[in-house]
Structure 1
């Protein structure tokens, strides 16, 4: 791997000369921005839940089989509030906007905290394919409407006693009367509403224009949890297009396919620093 400054120089050139830029954001991007799911941020905000349920981090705790809906929503209200409503636009996301705002770009992200929206990326240029903490849906997906949850989440937190909310705040589906869930892709019941389908259409239309064009793919903190959404498609598109460059910011897995070795610029360094240096 070339030295850091050489890679920064090549990456800046690739972005400047690109006709199109496609950003792909994964969990590592939000972690680098400070939205971490473990460590001090977790222990400071979830002490009662850690004591009661022995939780170790926000990711694994989101799969905990709570015995009651009152307990389940006490947890999820705090989870949603901390990651969606209690944090503003982070510097890393704002710097990313400055990096691409004058380019013909699009964003696909598996993150669900609405950070791109907060950093002033236009909604018609962002596809949050895995859902959004801001919305609830029918747990069984009986209909395709989503429900904005900020007001309800605040009420749940205000009324939380011993990691439980009152029964009357437990959300129920207004159509089938069943349980509600957070709009996150975790099973076959994930609701894709009208906005989701419009974003999907815009993304596919953008990708159609890239064939043979001078394209720079910028992959940010994308691991192997769901590689078929961003990592593998970006690799394949880079391989098929001789005019494409892949910039991969990944602490653990910066390298591309062997076939893309000369078209991939990999970074393992601190993501905040890399993006700041690309702006200089």
Structure 2
């Protein structure tokens, strides 16, 4: 229904008035939040610039990496070096609080509403901010989980204790060999539980969260729903953006809200049901 060409619509085509947003929020029976990487960037969890230089200066000096994202795909010389990188990447993006309280402020906005969150973010900041974990669907994985790299089975494993030990014991861009994580079933190397190829493990917890989200959508489909899209880019619109557009079009009682710096767009079909805010989420929230 919504192709890339059809949806290249200027944000001027829908209202960006904060007062209209406040009214729609008050009137809504429920709020469905769809969050992309732009929300965490607004919270200060940036993958480049000074933050990157502060935590990865030694890797930058050795490999001239442009940003954290690139470092996740780097051809490291050993597993000891690979896990020195990833333990830092996990720690500073999963176990450290975001520099700005965007997630906490967002919770204040919706805490008295019947809400649900679907997000492609893997930094777990919603739960850290106090959102009800039964109302969260991290559909792309979690920095806090490892899985078998094969994978030989459909389970994931909490990594916090080992990651903290890797951080404490690493030297010269390497962790001790005895800390390299291996699958407890087949012995092959562990890897991140992130959706980047066909090996992504959708464990029992993932399916439970998906089922809760699907049931939430079904049970509210004719109500006054506010679809609040935050920082979702155009790289993977099929997970949040397109479904939000489609559900808004199917429900005349729904309102679609897009807050995104430089990418606040809406298709003509739902322009009359939409609010677009072209700005930084931290300022608006």
Q: 1:206 & 1:39 partners in 2: Cα distance? A: 39
- What is the TM-score when the length of structure 2 is the normalising length? 0.92
Which segment is superposed worse, 214-223 or 61-70? 61-70
Q: Alignment partner for residue 251 of structure 2, among 214, 238, 241?
A: 241
Distance 2:43 2:16 in 1: 24
Give the corresponding residue for 2:25: 15
Give the alignment partner of residue 155 of structure 2, picking from 141, 145, 149: 145
Partner in structure 2 of residue 63 of structure 1: 73
Equivalent-residue separation in structure 2 for 1:86 and 1:217 (angstroms):
29
Which of the numbers 7, 32, 36 marks the counterpart of 1:26?
36
203, 218, 227: which one pairs with 2:213?
203
CA RMSD in angstroms, aligned pairs only: 1.8
Instruction: For structure 1, list consecutive stretches of 5 or more residues without a partner in the other structure.
Output: 276-280
| SS, match of residue 137 in structure 2 | strand
Distance 1:120 1:86 in 2: 14
State the match for 1:156 in structure 2. Answer: 166
For residue 258 of structure 1, report the CA deviation from its aligned partner: 1.2
Q: 1:174 aligns with which of 167, 170, 184?
A: 184
Moved over 3 A (4+): none
Task: Tell me by how many angstroms 1:200 deviates.
Answer: 0.4
- Alpha-carbon distance in 1 for matches of 2:86, 2:54: 16
Contact 2:45 2:99 in 1 (8 A): no
CA distance in 1, matches of 2:201, 2:213: 18
TM-score (norm 1): 0.94
**Does residue 1:86 correspond to 2:96, yes or no?**
yes
Aligned to 1:262: 272
Deviation at 1:178, TM superposition (A): 0.2
| 1:119 to partner: Cα distance | 1.0
How many equivalent residue pairs?
Answer: 275
Question: Which residue, out of 231, 238, 241, partners 1:228?
Answer: 238
Cα deviation, residue 140, structure 1: 1.4
**Distance in 2 (alpha carbons) for counterparts of 1:200 and 1:249:** 24
Report if the CA contact (8 A) 2:249-2:270 is conserved.
Answer: yes
Assess if the C-alpha contact under 8 Å between 1:24 and 1:108 holds in 2.
Answer: yes
1:48-83 CA-partner distances (Å, limit 9, x unpaired): 000111111111221112231111101000000111
> Which residue does the alignment assign to 2:5?
none
| Equivalence for 1:123 | 133
Corresponding position of 1:214? 224
| Distance in 2 separating the partners of 1:141 and 1:101 | 38
| Counterpart among 193, 203, 207 of residue 203 in structure 2 | 193
CA distance in 2, matches of 1:59, 1:268: 25
